[in-house]
Amino acid sequence: MKKLSIIFSGVLVLLIGMGIGFELGKRAPLPPSPNVPSENNSVQETGDDRQSFVGEFKVTRVVDGDTIEIEGGERVRYIGIDTPETVDPRKPVQCFGVEASNKNKKLVMGKTIRLEKDTTDRDKYKRLLRYVYVGDTFINLELVRQGFAYSYSYPPDIHYQEQIVAAQREAEESKNGLWAACPLGATQAATVSQEAIAKENTSGDCAIKGNISTTGEKIYHLVGCGSYAKTTVEESRGEQWFCSEAEAQAAGWRKALNCQ
Rounded to whole angstroms, how far apart are CA atoms 138 and 67?
A: 15
| Residue 50 falls in the annotated catalytic set | no
Element (H, E) at 108: helix 97-108
Inter-residue contact 194 to 152 (CB < 8 Å): yes
Nearest to 235 by CA among 151, 159, 130: 159
Active site residue 77: yes
Residue of 23, 50, 77, 254 marked catalytic? 77
Q: Are 97 and 86 in contact (CB under 8 A)?
A: yes
75 a catalytic residue: no
Give me the phi and psi of 229, to 5 degrees please: -65, -40
Q: Which of 85, 99, 142, 172 is catalytic?
A: 85
Whether the upstream peptide bond of residue 32 has omega within 30° of 0, thus cis, is: no
Total Cβ atoms within 10 A of residue 46: 12
Asked whether the CA dihedral 232, 238, 240, 245 is positive or negative, the reply is negative
Contact 202, 233 (CB under 8 A): no
Alpha-carbon distance 260 to 257, whole Å?
8
DSSP string, 149-174: -EE---TT--TTHHHHHHHHHHHHHH
| Cα(50)–Cα(31) distance, integer angstroms | 30
Q: Which is the catalytic residue, given 69, 74, 99, 127?
A: 127
Active site residues: 77, 85, 127
